[in-house]
Chain A
Amino acid sequence: MKLRLSDAIRISWSSVGGHKVRSLLTIVTIAILFGVVLGVNFVLQGLEDTVVAASVVPTAGKVYIESQYYVTSGAPSTMTEEEILNPDFVKRRVELEADADEYGGKLVGVKTSFNDRPPVEIISVEAVEEYIELDLAGVPEGKVPVLVPWKGFSYDEAMYGMQAEELQRNFEDDFYVVGVMPMTEKGRLELGVGNPLNFLLSSVPSNYAYYPVLIDDGSGVVQKYLKERIDIHRQKQEEKFAEMVVADPEMDEEDYRDTYNYIMSQAIQADRAAIFQFDDPQKAIAYALQPYDYANYLMQQDLFSNTISVARSFAGLKNMLVVIEVILLIVAVVIASLTFGHMIDQDAATIALYRAMGATKLQILLIYLCYLVELCILALGVCLVIALGIAGVTALMNAGELSQKLQKFYRLAEAPRVWFVALNWVTWTVVGAVLVIAPVTLILADRHFSARNIARKLKED
């Protein structure tokens, strides 16, 4: 192809001027279709970034994620008593650490969950000491330091008060409160009634907690408490079994053994997650949004805040947006190729002239590809203006209110900054989609370039 690109652009650019109405129509159609997607995506990503930034304030700008492998998808694994009581034991720890390390995640402790009623949740002191001022020095001998969901917490107030009664222990008998854990408000993050942003904000889950978290300060006092709770639970299971035996005197030996094993296997339902600290929230999100590996069920959750739940929900919204985008792309291509087809027919004489002037078919296609690319670039410009307009109006109308609501929701000392424009991968798919209109339209309009059609034009007199 000897035709210089600069010449192809010059000639094709003159076509934009020569087809003002058609060109303008194509540009405006494409710009409106994709401008709205781009604008919504600006707002979406802006909101996500805003919420994520606010969500990490209570944890000193860092993200803490608990990760563990489940043996089968979803179902928590059973651990032996020995494993639970050994705080260093984490299933497939080496793999977990290597994986998190790729995203800059640092192992800062473990979380043990014994799923009794009320549940026992224990985390290493290293996983909280950076962002909660702990009164560890004041812990009386033999008591377990705990973080509580709110000041003045006791079992009676909590959802599991009744079960606690069964334990016949008071909160104060076992625990000493060393701090309040960070968490969101109970309700939803919501703006005024009818505000369309609420649809996006419904992706921000509350992580309000109802029971305390025990702190493992390494003194062994937590393990001692855990052992007691396991023993109590065991004993209850034994009693339950005895009742069943009494209730069913017909039970043969095999039934008897199976039932016993089943009941006792319920005794210890526990798991242990590794807690990773990420300095960069975006890397934490990337770590948490890794594609699931169903064979090796890896599960990551926020430790206290809701950063990665927010990111997960917004990722879902972005995927939805891309589906809409694909539909719009089809619509845009159909409209563009219809308009363009007419234009080529109108241009037949010009094309015939180019042929007579020694242009090859490829050169002519290049000129029209340039023309279409020029239209698409202009459309992108208008698209950007529309999108920024949407984001700007949204910001004007909501910025103040959102900042206040965020401050309350995340219990922040200061109102956080909010923004409504941010780039993400969806932005680039919009740019890509608009540019892809050009070659696809050209291919669809190929038949309009038929040599015979054009030869006929040359002879019209």
Chain B
Amino acid sequence: MIKLSEVNKSYGKKPVLMDVNLEIPKGEFVMLRGRSGSGKSTLLNIIGGIEPATSGEVSIEGKNVNNLKAKERVDFYRHKVGFIFQGFYLQPQLSVMENIGLMGTFAGMKRSEREVRARELAKQLGIEEVLDSKPAEISGGQAERACAARALFMHPEIILADEPTNNLDPENAQNVIEMLKQIWQDTGATVIVASHDPMVEKYATKVVKVSEGRVTDEAKAK
């Protein structure tokens, strides 16, 4: 369960999120829906621990993350959260294998251990044969899978995806969402997708509307 109470975020004088109260039960497939500039990414970053809230309280599985010290915080998120970015966020100079293992790298995992885990994920997602390639040498679909594998590396309980279908044609967008759904079903993780793409809505078990920094919970009948 992810719980935000009275969360505010502003950049200088500019408020971006206002009085956000939000509860996301474990295991849901959540869509943060809203126009560009409404604050979805900021909200996602606050949930994922990349940015701090200006005020308010964030708790994840009963743990108030505001009270964590810097080091505990990094450790906590490392094992809780996986981020999925668009394909171009793969590092072009690193092999697909190294890209998938990045979180392990920053956690201080040995190279051999990282490779075992990366291979396991690649097998699961069907990209085993491109592990030693550079991102430029693989297809768009394979890149999406590599990004997903990277997010899954530390066995996260929460998977965050920011506009995963952006810049994709409808067919590929569909594939990405299908993949997320598959992952959601296989891992039982909570999946939160920030998107303005109406297609995502069909897959979500819960939709949260973000509009000019305010959040409205829309319960969705399945």
Contact with A along B74-113 (1 / 0, CB 8 A): 1001100001010001011110001000110111101100
| Residues 1-15 of B at the A interface (beta carbon under 8 Å) | 11
List of B residues within 8 angstroms of A11 by Cβ: 91, 94, 105
- When C-beta atoms are compared, the residue in chain B nearest to A353 turns out to be B89
Cα A349 to Cα B108 in complex, Å, equals 22
Interface residue A269 (Cβ < 8 Å from any Cβ of B): no
Pick the residue among B83, B92, B103 that contacts A18 (CB under 8 A): B92
* Residues of chain A with a CB closer than 8 A to B74's CB: 358, 360
Segment from B22-30, B41-49, B55-63, B174-182 that makes contact with A? B41-49
Contacts of B105 in A (CB 8 A): 3-4, 7, 11, 357
Residue B50 at the A interface, CB < 8 A? yes
Instruction: Name the CB-closest residue of B to A359.
Output: B106
- Chain A residues lying within 8 Å of B157, measured Cβ to Cβ, are none
A355 CB contacts on chain B under 8 angstroms: 50
Whether A459 sits at the interface, judged by CB under 8 Å, is: yes
Tally of chain A residues near chain B (CB < 8 A): 29
By a CB distance below 8 angstroms, the chain B residues around A10 are 98
| Number of inter-chain CB pairs below 8 Å | 76
Chain B: minimal CB distance from A95 (Å) = 59
Contacting pair B107 A358 (CB below 8 A) = yes
A461 touches B94 (CB 8 A): no
How far, in angstroms, from A352 to B89 measured CA to CA in the complex? 10
Does B187 lie at the interface of the complex (its beta carbon under 8 Å from any beta carbon of A)?
no
Q: Are A7 and B111 in contact (CB under 8 A)?
A: yes
Given A357-B102, A363-B106: A455 and B51 within 8 A (CB)?
A: yes
- Closest chain B CB from A362 CB (angstroms): 10
Question: Contacts of A14 on B, CB cut-off 8 Å?
Answer: 91, 93-94
CB-CB contacts below 8 Å: B138-185 with A: 150, 154, 162-163, 166
Given contacts A3-B108, A17-B93, A350-B91, contact A461 B36 (CB under 8 A): yes
Interface of chain A, main secondary structure? helix
Instruction: Find chain A residues with CB under 8 A from B42 CB.
Output: 459
Chain A 338-366, CB-CB to B under 8 Å as 1, else 0, gives 00000000000110111111111001000
Using known A-B contacts A7-B111, A360-B74, A452-B11, determine if residue A354 contacts B106 with beta carbons closer than 8 Å.
yes
B195 to chain A, nearest CB (A): 10
Contact with B along A31-74 (1 / 0, CB 8 A): 00000000000000000000000000000000000000000000
**Closest residue to B160 on the A side, CB-wise?**
A356
Question: Which residues of B have CB within 8 Å of A7?
Answer: 105, 111
Cα of A4 to Cα of B77 in the assembled complex, Å = 20
| CB closest residue in chain A, given B52 | A451
Contact (Cβ within 8 A) B83 A356: yes
Interface string of B103-129 (1 = CB under 8 A from A): 101111011000000000000000000
A350 to B85 CA separation, bound complex (whole angstroms): 11
- Shortest CB-to-CB span from B94 to chain A, Å, is 6
Query: Within the assembled complex, what's the spacing in Å between the Cα atoms of A55 and B60?
Result: 81
Q: What CA separation (Å) do A7 and B112 show in the bound complex?
A: 12
Query: CB of A264 within 8 A of chain B?
Result: no
Counting from the closest, the 6 A-B pairs by CB-CB distance are A2-B108, A14-B93, A459-B41, A358-B78, A356-B83, A359-B106
19 A/B residue pairs, CB under 8 Å, sorted by A: A3-B105, A3-B106, A3-B108, A4-B105, A4-B111, A7-B111, A10-B98, A14-B91, A14-B94, A350-B91, A357-B103, A357-B106, A357-B150, A358-B154, A452-B11, A455-B45, A458-B50, A459-B162, A461-B41
Residues of A near any B CB (own CB < 8 A): 2-4, 6-7, 10-11, 14-15, 17-18, 349-350, 352-360, 363, 451-452, 455, 458-459, 461
